[in-house]
With several copies, the nearest count.
Chain A
Amino acid sequence: MLFEFSDEHGELRRTVRDFFEKESDENRVRELMSSEQGFDPTCWGRMAEELGIVGLIVSEEHGGAGLGMVELAIVAEEMGRVLLCAPYLSSAVLATSVLEFAADEAAQKEILPKLASGEAIATLAFSEAANPWDFSAIAMTAEPKGDAFQLSGEKTYVLDGQIANEIIVVARVDGSLALFRVADDASGLSREALPPFDPTRRIAALRFKNTPASRISSGDLCCQLECALDRAIIALAAEQLGGAQRVLETTIDFAKTRFQFGRPIGSFQVIKHGCADMLVEVEFARSAVYNAAFSGDEDPQSVAVAAQMAKSYCSDAYLDIANRSIQIHGGMGFTWEHSAHLYYKRAKASEILFGTASYHRERMAALLGFGAR
């Protein structure tokens, strides 16, 4: 692992950062998080057209940029930094990866170009309440009905499930995992927006009752789904890194300018050491994310471990940093008007999403065979 970023990587980061600093400043985030849709379709269109990042990892043959995990990590880090309210993780990362890795060619040709162009927004409905992040725990079974299938049951914690117009469902056929496409106006489909702990990312419960669905994959998809989820996990870890870095910066600025007892509070050793610990965490988180991203592009057989490491470490680090930031800001950090709580809520929800730090450690330890005699 050499962590060699190219000039193009630097350029991508600058472009994206400039864009989001304008289009996703704190006021905009607050507007969107209390809006019904939870994102700004105009901005989404510009992300697709002007920046070309909505189709970042869509392959070129399907109308995307065909870029890799390093570019994705850069973009996701910048999004995390500004708490972007948009269906990026759901549509442009997870659903896109699943379609790329696991869908039939016909479905890819039909759906992916629309995702890349921003014309459609997709979500992957896979989680079931009891054990939501483990594909092997999926119980929903598709019933054959003529040439197609019918789905019944519930998927929950579906990212942007309320606004997606391409609904991809994971369910079983003869015990094997398969992908199904469900029209957003299909009969028997009801969608309930769940009130989110983190209002900058929306989740929904999707209920199906004999809902018609077309199968868009062949064979058992377990491995492909895991690979796609690892990508989403890495992107989420990159978001966490961006958020953590941003919170550290805000907190340092505050500690330099807030005076108590005639001194900037950052001159108090306990505050200073707390900031030093946060710095270590951010730098480690950065190593974890970039390692996972470069592994994704250069060393595929180590991606799974690197992804678990990154999500595990970044979850703990971001949450710790967000918590410390509230504390250092004192009463102000506890107010609605300060941004500290927005990052805290994002940190907490991101820690839970796709599995907590200890869940990912357990998976990593299993992959590496710790203590297996």
Chain B
Amino acid sequence: MNESELRERTRALLKEVNPDAKGDQRIPFRGAQFDRGLAWVSFPEGLGGLGLAPKLQTVVQDELHKGAKTYYEDMLVNPIGIGMGAAVVLAYGREEGKRELLRRMFTGEEIWCQLFSEPSAGSDLAGLATRAVRDGDDWVLNGQKTWTTLAHISKWGLLVARTNPDLPKHDGLSYFMLDMQAPGVEVRPLYQITGEAEFNEVFLNDVRIPQKHMLGEEGQGWKVAIATLMNERVALGGGASKKGGGPIAVLLELFENVEAKRSPAEEALLRDRIAKLYIEAELLRLTGIRAKAARDSNVVGPEGSVGKVAQAEIGKAIWECCADVLGPDALVYEHGYELRQGSTSSPNSRLHAKYTLLRSRAYSIEGGTSEIMRNILGERVLGLPGEPRVDKDVPWKEIRRS
């Protein structure tokens, strides 16, 4: 199928099914999109795809955006499932029931979450301690997972557990899909610096997972996990923001509109700082475009790797600067700190900036700390040698843990 046929097929879908439903009402449209192979065009026919080149997906998205007023971004419907789970289920899931699993994932009928991080395994993900012990046709799991987005509304969890502690750390892991409604799964909100719980802790007490829900082979958990995280990168590395958009726009707006009596010297210092941040934000954006251009021509350059660490630091610095533009008004926190689930958003730039100052403290931690990202830049991109390792080639159970 060529591009224009694909475009036509998408237009036909838009004509035949109402694309502008909301909430649960969007299920029929997304179901039809799946059935016509327009969910993931690179997937096989029957599993939401048409066996086409992955980049043709943009043709579908393009038409959907043009043809539907309220078309919901795929990622928002089921971010973990669609962004990370789909490819893993496709590659490693059992054939039986795969179609239904993928379809319900795509429509958002079944939300997915990811259960990788643990309290004692943050940057050192492969050091995780959740144990899975074989018992007949089942695995019995005990342990604790953390930083789990959406766990409280999820049907399925992508989970890595240790099936053999006698092997070196990367070798004793296996990968499962966990029914979040199974007995012994307890989800608790994890409150943050802001008082919100965007994340959860998930406690596993004698939770049984049938062998058929293992994705990949026993001991392949690390490989499947890495594949999952690579999908995350691709999912996150989407389109570049537009010029002067995003956080820097908020900063400029505040700088222009906040009433504050600053001395000329303070004004000059702030203006220089904002100019510096503007340049950095703009260069981050342009570097993203260069990275995309390189990817499109299949050239792998360093420009694609610098994004995460730079984005984290620039983002933090911009929100810090916003607070400083607000001046003494930043002493007042209108949102308050009552514990609550979900994430705060405010159309008011001033309030948004106050909240995001706090929220942004995690930019350099979540999704890989800046320390880990700099290790990766140094070792994988620049080819610098690794550090002496004390946790390789020894059984996991002999590695010191906190």
Contacts and interface: CB of A to CB of B under 8 A. Distances in A.
B384 A280 contact: no
Contact of B274 (A133, A276, A337, A370): A370
B134 to A, nearest CB: 26
B391 A256 contact: no
Contacts of A353: 331
A132 interface: yes
A344 B309 CA distance: 22
Contact of B382 (A275, A335, A349): A275
Interface string B167-204: 00000000000000000000000111101000000000
A286 B284 CA distance: 11
A94 to B, nearest CB: 16
A207 interface: no
Contacts of B266: 358-359, 362
Interface string B321-353: 001100110111111110100000000000000
Contacts of B366: 331, 334
B272 A279 contact: no
Contacts of A332: 119, 122
A106 interface: no
B164 to A, nearest CB: 18
B384 A255 contact: yes
Contacts of A255: 384
A341 B283 contact: no
Contacts of A211: none
A309 B333 CA distance: 28
B279 A313 contact: yes
A246 to B, nearest CB: 14
A327 B309 CA distance: 13
B289 to A, nearest CB: 6
Contact of B399 (A262, A291, A331, A371): A262
A275 B278 contact: no
Contact of B272 (A270, A358, A373): A358
B328 to A, nearest CB: 5
Contacts of B269: 358
Interface stretch (B46-54, B229-237, B368-376): B368-376
Contacts of B290: 3, 283, 286-287, 290
Nearest to B396: A262
Given A327-B369, A370-B271, A371-B267, A196 B323 contact: no
Interface residues of A, number: 83
B384 A252 contact: yes
Contacts of A290: 286, 290
Contact of B293 (A2, A197, A257, A271): A2
B1 interface: no
B286 A1 contact: yes
Contacts of A291: 283, 286
A262 B195 contact: no
B263 A331 contact: no
Contact of B371 (A273, A335, A344): A273
Given A130-B260, A259-B402, A261-B391, A270 B386 contact: no
Given A313-B283, A335-B193, A361 B272 contact: yes
A238 B328 CA distance: 21
A157 to B, nearest CB: 6
A256 B384 contact: yes
Most buried by B among A277, A291, A371: A371
The 6 closest A-B pairs by CB, nearest first: A262-B391, A272-B378, A336-B191, A276-B377, A266-B384, A260-B124
Interface of B: 117, 119-124, 127, 146-147, 190-193, 195, 252, 255-257, 259-261, 263, 265-267, 269-272, 274-276, 278-280, 282-284, 286-287, 289-290, 293, 302-303, 306, 309-310, 323-324, 327-328, 330-337, 339, 354, 357-358, 361-362, 364-366, 369-371, 373-375, 377-379, 381-391, 399-402
Given A196-B332, A263-B391, 10 more contacts: A262-B399, A267-B385, A273-B374, A279-B382, A290-B286, A326-B361, A348-B323, A364-B278, A371-B255, A371-B271
